[in-house]
Chains A and B, each alone.
Chain A
Amino acid sequence: MSTPSAKQVSFNKLKNNAQNFSFILPAVLIFATFYIYPFYDIFKLSMHSWNGINLHKTPVGLDNFFELMTDGIWWKSVWNATYITLIALTFQNLLAFGLALACDREIRMKNFYRVVFFIPPVLSEVVVGLVWKWILNPSVQDGQHIGLLNYFFDKIGLHHLVHNWLSDPNTALTCIAVVHSWKGFGWGFIMLLAGLQTIDRQLYEAAKVDGAGFWKTLTNVTIPMMMPVILVVIILTVLGSMQAFVLVLSMVGQGLVYHTEVPVTRILSAMTGTNRFGYACSMGVVFGALLIMVSLAFKFVSDKVKQA
């Protein structure tokens, strides 16, 4: 038997590599088509004026971006998303943390709470939005409030709280933010509870022996130990809330012009409303860059925390 020639060896190696590579081929193909190409295309399109139908796309350089910089409605929509995010960060996460602390002990029905708190997060935003829209319904029929919340306020005598919740520009966005927090706090709760349960009980014992009360233990033991998990919850809250828009569509729709718009609904209406695809793409680029910057900033902060 002769030893295989060098040519034969390299051919076998090539064949072997090709066979191995074929394992990732389907993933790479799907990914390249539906992820990388659009990613490349969006930069190109953002520098064109295009109505989405014509074959002709007019190159306009950076005009779309200049227009976007001075587009008041766009920045208002960015602020609206930030507002939702701020409410989610404080209200939703504090609630989640408080409830996780309450469940991180020998308490009865812990599993029941854990199961129930995670029901809103598994529901779709469409379902959540439409159910809450129905509860917040402002209409009156035969002297009776149709919406449950207004009916409730009316019955217990708090007439001044009866309100057009979703049609008043002053309350609509807050309602959306509160429903968003209602839907989202279960995520934070589960993650924070899991984190709390990894903390060594002996640390609490030691703190107790040293005479630390609830607050001292919380600020000196629990929160420092939980910092990595807290950071994960914060970044997921920020990224999720900035992109939340299905609730806006399902609760308010296009009804309240500009008062409840968020970046994603702006992108959608630039596309389907005014057929300005190039402009919509420039929004997509700016919004995407904004979110990536936020993630990178958090990555930086969490690396710093891990080092310390």
Chain B
Amino acid sequence: MLNKYQIKGMFKSTFLHIILMSVAATCLFPLFWMLRCSLMTNQTVFVDKSFFPHELHFMNYFQAWTEGNFGIYFINSIIYTTSVVVGIVVVSSLAAYAFSRLEFPGKKVFFYMFVLAMMIPLPGSFVALFDLMNIIGLVNTRIGYILCMINVGLSMSILLLKTFFDKMPPDLEDAARIDGCGRLRIWWNVALPLARPALAVIIIFNSLNVWNEYILAQLLLSDKNLMPLQRGLMVFQGSHSVDYPLLMAGLTIAAIPIIAVYLFMQKHIIKGLSSGAVVG
């Protein structure tokens, strides 16, 4: 026999599960709807509201990839994401290592410069950024967009890595120094491998950020062959007669990689976020 408290507890947890489940359904349903609409034809998508349509048109993805230009956008997104993340990892880990371990005049000033910059919001200065890119001729170039995006992720990555290096015991590096390793080799062979957990957080968050970035792509890239997915999607939906199944296929193409990365890496993501929150 269950006693009064057990029954009350069961009632309570069922109630909580109903609430949690309905919120979870609200999170997932729009994505399911996007996926479902991406497999319909331009005729049925307006009238057929069944959850699982009879015919599934996987050709839509092929069409979106070729005619909708999403193939090019996708490859551009891959190029931008990998180059920006590699750039951020190299540049920020070099700087963070120096801020943590090496001595040079003006170290504090430079470090606080990076920290303070996190307070200045990007929308405050992107007009001037656009002006600068125009002057140095980097508008509508891949390298211009990549450099701007490296800059966007730099401050936060330097801060995170420096905090990590500060906590790391210097014994291994000292041993390497006694063995005659130079600074650069110690950074590459000793410090970076030890900083793997922090690097994972940086790589994941910056990848998400670059893949989802929109505003700089709109400002800097007007050539269709250079646009990343987010920009391409807006161009596609802005055209006069939108082919909705193709648009939904394009949205799915943009969403799937990010969801896959998230599902594989969610432990790191949640850990990164949680530590950020607790540290404040």
Within 101-139 of A, Cβ neighbours of B (below 8 Å) are at: 102-103, 107-109, 112-120, 122-128, 130-132, 134-135
- Given known A-B contacts A119-B27, A119-B262, A124-B258, A34 and B33 have beta carbons under 8 A apart: no
Which residues of the other chain, B, contact A281 by a CB distance below 8 angstroms? Answer: 127-128
Which residues of the other chain, A, contact B30 by a CB distance below 8 angstroms? Answer: 128, 131-132, 135
Chain B CB within 10 A, most for which of A107, A117, A122? A122
Interface residues of A (CB under 8 A from B): 17-21, 23-24, 26-28, 30-31, 33-35, 37-39, 41-42, 45, 52, 95, 99, 102-103, 107-109, 112-120, 122-128, 130-132, 134-135, 141-142, 144, 146, 148, 151, 182, 186-187, 190-195, 198, 228-229, 231-233, 239, 243, 245-246, 249-250, 253, 263-264, 267, 271, 277, 280-281, 284-285, 287-289, 291-292, 295, 302
Which residues of the other chain, A, contact B121 by a CB distance below 8 angstroms? Answer: 239, 243, 287-288, 291-292
A-B contacts, CB under 8 A, total: 261
Interface residues of B (CB under 8 A from A): 13, 16-17, 19-20, 23-24, 26-28, 30-31, 33-34, 37, 46-47, 49, 90-92, 94-95, 97-99, 102-105, 110, 113-114, 117, 119-132, 147-148, 150-151, 154-155, 158, 183, 187, 208, 211-212, 214-215, 230, 233-234, 237-238, 244, 247-248, 251, 254-255, 258-259, 262-263, 266, 269-270, 273-278, 280
Please, how many angstroms separate the alpha-carbon atoms of A280 and B237 in the complex?
Answer: 26
Which one of A34, A117, A148, A228 contacts B132 once the chains associate, using CB atoms below 8 Å?
Answer: A34
Which one of B117, B124, B125, B208 contacts A31 once the chains associate, using CB atoms below 8 Å?
Answer: B117
Q: List 16 A-B contacts (CB under 8 A).
A: A20-B183, A30-B150, A95-B23, A117-B23, A122-B269, A124-B212, A125-B212, A130-B247, A135-B30, A182-B26, A191-B276, A195-B277, A246-B215, A264-B123, A287-B123, A291-B124
